[in-house]
Amino acid sequence: MARPVTLFTGQWTDLDFEEVCRKAKEWGYDGLELACWGNHFEVDKADEAYCASRREIMAKYGLQVHAVSTYMVSQCVCDRIDERHRSIVPAYIWGDGDPEGVRQRAAQEMIRTAQAAKRLGVKVVNGFTGSSIWHLAYSFPSVPESMINHGFKDFADRWTPIFNEFQRLRLKYAVKVHPTEIAFDIASARRALEATDYHAAFGFNYDPSHMGYQGVDYILFLHKFADRILHVHMKDVGWKSSPAEAGVFGGHQPFGSQRRYWDFRSVGRGNINFEEIIRSLNRIGYQGPLSVEWEDSGMDREHGAAESCAYVKKLDFQPSGAMFDSAFTRK
């Protein structure tokens, strides 16, 4: 049986939850990955009755739920808080805007999110981590190693109590490896695991789009962290074959600008080698959902969502149970 193909609702939170369910079914999806913003999965309301109602609405449209995602609040747990964060978190997390207060309230909300996810019946929560040292990734003056060490310790100190609660609930937290986070490539992902002593509740929501344009080997990532791949985002990115006006760092140009060296694309329309990803997922034994996170500034999103679902379903296949030449061998 092929892996379920789901739609991440983060790019659809301007629509009512049931409308997204209806559309996802029409487009051919098997389920949803629910965003913890908009009215799709509201952590502060997620008691037993609320979670039951969410499951009932999805069942009405023949949809399953395998994960919830909390990218907005989770970003604040160990980030350098400023006015940008106010627009992405609920007022009760922002409070008076004092940075340490925001971080502490975000951490408490992450624990409540784990508890709500347990009531919903999922085993994986996806999200970010934030980072106190991302701004030092390419900086001048040169950065003392002690500052980087402190940043990873800060990450571990703030996230380990959260991971402990996930472990107590028998849930996993899947971190998206992404610029601006504590883990943004293979080297930093390994160091984040080391910082938490390879905590059993900590793994990755694999998304090749954020590694490809950086020059990170996104296929190698799957094999390096095979036992930590908890969830998979199917998202594409395109980058130019020749230099551009705005390079890897984006030049402060908006997504969709012709000046950019790279931009997100609808699945199958960029540079990511999804064929090899599927083969590698088969090699490592991943059987979880393939969740479409649709982002393409140059395409109508409903066209893109439907097209992406069909593309992923056509591409996915189960591994062989035997070598192709086994039939040639005499018994």
In a domain, 330, yes or no: no
In a domain, 98, yes or no: yes
In a domain, 120, yes or no: yes
Residue 205 near residue 231, CB atoms below 8 Å = yes
For the cut 60, the answer to whether the pLDDT of residue 19 exceeds it is yes
Domain tally for the chain? 1
Q: Which CATH number does the domain housing residue 139 bear?
A: 3.20.20.150
Helix (H, G, I), strand (E, B) or coil at 176: strand
pLDDT per position as a tens digit, 230-251: 999 999 999 999 999 999 999 9
Residue 252: which domain range?
A: 5-13+23-320
pLDDT per position as a tens digit, 176-230: 999 999 999 999 999 999 999 999 999 999 999 999 999 999 999 999 999 999 9
d(CA 33, CA 111): 19
Written as six digits, the tokens of 79 are 């980030």
Gap between the terminal Cα atoms of the chain: 29
H/E run at residue 85: helix 83-86
In a domain, 161, yes or no: yes
In a domain, 186, yes or no: yes
- pLDDT over 70 percentage in the chain: 96
Residue 206 near residue 231, CB atoms below 8 Å = yes
In a domain, 61, yes or no: yes
Q: How confident is the model at residue 325 (pLDDT cuts 50, 70, 90)?
A: low
Q: What pTM, to 2 d.p., does this model score?
A: 0.95
In a domain, 176, yes or no: yes
In a domain, 295, yes or no: yes
Residue 37 near residue 75, CB atoms below 8 Å = no
Mean pLDDT (the chain, rounded): 96
pLDDT of 319 reads 82
Helix (H, G, I), strand (E, B) or coil at 331: coil
